[in-house]
């Protein structure tokens, strides 16, 4: 049996993210995994594991005291899109608001046009590049939304691109149908007609695909109302799609309360969430997904993540990578904002991109923490301890990335950490 096993040994800190709080770090640890099943076999202090496992018969990689963590998870992205909106970014720097740009027919509509015009191959190629960028920062799973088609054909094209990427790229892609992202131009004066089309044709086609797990709605000022959102999400639930919602981003609309009412898995953005919304989410077990790079990029106040964490909510973080409100997939920036601006502790920030992010995509049984039986998705840092992910501001500390037990990415060479570590 032991021939099939591999191990990482001489791990300075094994950050397991097990349990309900804290990181449950094991020092002087080893992690044993099975390359064939892609699962974790055992982990713990090497001294203790030695009693059960004969390390001389296991392929071992000595990490020289480096830290190991679960692979990061990004539970909210729009990474499959055509074109760019750089000009809008500069308009915003000049003082125009996201809503003003949207009301002038810019914003999401621009990307809808560009995505309709993009070929499958083009979307696939750009999606692949974006997943490479995620992977090099230690991200092993991303959620990806459709929502730049706003017509059946293009929505399905986005979903097809994600399906092929999920199969062919090392990063796993969890799919969300976001046919209710905006009211498309063609239906501006007849929104009911688009919602009917969405419910009668688009939702069933999306729900028919096993890989599509969630239905999302942009519920906010100028987009979908609370009533419309509830109707769409309940129809989607009947077809087996779980709910996620973009809520209370631009204005307070009672979106978090609705997320609790419909039993959504997660509520996302939450810049303007109410006290009631926070307490409803807690009662209903809704995971808040906070997107601080979007607030940073839009020059908005941050979501009250500290308050949510203090109320006992398991806060998750995501990049929101998209061409408009947040053209960034940077995990170092995400972790910097989470600690400097949202005032999450380093432990909370790491849980927010691992186990809590897994909960936000309903995958906590599979990924998000290091435990025997879970998928062998983990990262090795080229740093003395895990806190360098936060302390080394804006810099990628990830050295190696393993997906289902296989090393899928490695930086060319490690830094001089080994020397520093051995000296001390
Ligand atoms: O999460 N808020 C709605 N959707 C995206 C923005 C998409 C875009 O601007 O293209 C978001 O920020
Ligand atoms: Fe979004």
Mutate to test the pocket of ligand 1, among 108, 216, 221, 244 (most ligand atoms within 8 A of CB): 108
User: Atom 8 of ligand 1 has which residue's CA nearest to it?
Assistant: 324
Three-class secondary structure of residue 274 per DSSP: coil
Mutate to test the pocket of ligand 1, among 181, 250, 298, 317 (most ligand atoms within 8 A of CB): 181
Mutate to test the pocket of ligand 1, among 100, 246, 268 (most ligand atoms within 8 A of CB): 246
73: which 2 tokens?
């998870």
188: which 2 tokens?
């501006």
**19 contacts 9 by C-beta, under 8 angstroms:** no
Task: From 137, 114, 108, select the one nearest 126 (Cα to Cα).
Answer: 114
Max CA distance (Å), the chain: 71
Does residue 325 have its Cβ closer than 6 Å to ligand 1? Answer: yes
Strands 72-74 and 316-317: unpaired
Number of H helices, E strands in the chain: 18, 16
Ligand (nearest to CA of 98):
1
Does residue 319 have its Cβ closer than 6 Å to ligand 1? Answer: no
Does residue 107 have its Cβ closer than 6 Å to ligand 1? Answer: yes
CA distance to 6, 34, 64, 195, 207, per residue, from 250 (Å): 49, 47, 48, 22, 29
The neighbouring-strand residues paired with 25 are 15
User: Atom 6 of ligand 1 has which residue's CA nearest to it?
Assistant: 325
Task: From 308, 231, 230, 239, select the one nearest 269 (Cα to Cα).
Answer: 308
Residue pointed to by tokens 């003082």: 95
- Distance, CA of 128 to CA of 122 (rounded, Å): 10
Q: What share of the chain is helix, strand, coil (3-state, %, to 5)?
A: 40, 25, 40
Residues less than 5 Å from ion ligand 2, measured at CB: 320
Residues near 119 by beta carbon (within 8 Å), at least 6 away in sequence: none
User: Atom 9 of ligand 1 has which residue's CA nearest to it?
Assistant: 324
Does residue 98 have its Cβ closer than 6 Å to ligand 1? Answer: no
Tens-digit pLDDT string for the chain (424 aa): 555 899 999 999 999 999 999 999 999 999 999 999 999 999 999 999 999 999 999 999 999 999 999 999 999 999 999 999 999 999 999 999 888 887 777 899 999 999 999 999 999 999 999 999 999 999 999 999 999 999 999 999 999 999 999 999 999 999 999 999 999 989 999 999 999 999 999 999 999 999 999 999 999 998 999 999 999 999 999 999 999 999 999 999 999 999 999 999 999 999 999 999 999 999 999 999 999 999 999 999 999 999 999 999 999 999 999 999 999 999 999 999 999 999 999 999 999 999 999 999 999 999 999 999 999 999 999 999 999 999 999 999 999 999 999 999 999 876 655 544 443 3
Helix (H) or strand (E) holding 206: helix 203-207
Does residue 244 have its Cβ closer than 6 Å to ligand 1? Answer: no
């Amino acid at each position: 049996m032991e021939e099939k096993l591999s191990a990482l040994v001489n791990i300075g800190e094994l950050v397991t993210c097990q349990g309900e709080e804290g990181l449950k770090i094991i020092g002087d640890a080893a992690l044993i995994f099975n390359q064939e099943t892609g699962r974790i076999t055992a982990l713990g202090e090497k001294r203790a594991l030695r009693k059960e496992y004969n390390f001389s018969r296991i392929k071992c990689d000595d990490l020289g005291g480096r830290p190991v963590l679960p692979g990061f998870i990004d539970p909210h992205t729009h990474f499959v899109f055509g074109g760019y909106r750089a000009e809008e970014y500069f308009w915003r720097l000049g003082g125009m608001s996201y809503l003003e740009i949207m009301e002038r027919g810019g914003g999401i509509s621009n990307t809808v046009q560009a995505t309709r015009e993009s070929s499958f191959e083009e979307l696939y190629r750009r999606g692949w590049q974006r997943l490479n960028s995620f992977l090099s920062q230690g991200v092993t799973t991303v959620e990806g939304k459709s929502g730049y088609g706003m017509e059946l054909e293009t929505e399905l094209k986005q979903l097809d691109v994600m399906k092929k990427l999920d199969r062919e790229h090392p990063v796993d892609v969890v799919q969300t149908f976001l046919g209710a992202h905006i009211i498309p131009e063609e239906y501006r004066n007849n929104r009911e007609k688009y919602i009917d089309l969405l419910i009668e044709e688009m939702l069933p086609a999306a729900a028919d695909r096993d890989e599509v797990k969630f239905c999302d709605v942009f519920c906010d000022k100028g987009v979908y109302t609370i009533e419309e959102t509830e109707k769409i999400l309940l129809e989607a639930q009947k077809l087996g799609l779980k709910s996620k919602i973009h809520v209370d981003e631009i204005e307070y609309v009672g979106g978090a309360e609705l997320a609790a009412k419909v039993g959504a898995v997660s509520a996302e953005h939450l810049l303007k969430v109410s006290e009631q919304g926070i307490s409803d989410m807690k009662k209903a077990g809704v995971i808040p997904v906070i997107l601080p790079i979007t607030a940073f990029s839009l020059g908005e106040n941050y979501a009250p993540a500290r308050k949510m964490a203090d109320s006992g909510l398991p806060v998750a973080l995501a990049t929101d990578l998209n061409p408009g409100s947040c053209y960034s997939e940077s995990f170092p920036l995400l972790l910097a904002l989470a600690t400097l601006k949202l005032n999450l502790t380093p432990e909370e920030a790491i849980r927010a991109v691992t186990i809590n992010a897994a909960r936000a995509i309903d995958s906590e049984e599979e990924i998000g923490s290091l435990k025997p039986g879970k998928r062998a998705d983990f990262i090795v840092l080229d740093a003395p301890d895990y806190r360098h992910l936060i302390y080394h501001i804006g810099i990628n500390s990830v050295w190696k990335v393993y997906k289902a037990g296989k090393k899928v990415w490695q930086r060319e060479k490690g830094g001089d950490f080994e020397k520093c570590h051995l000296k001390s």
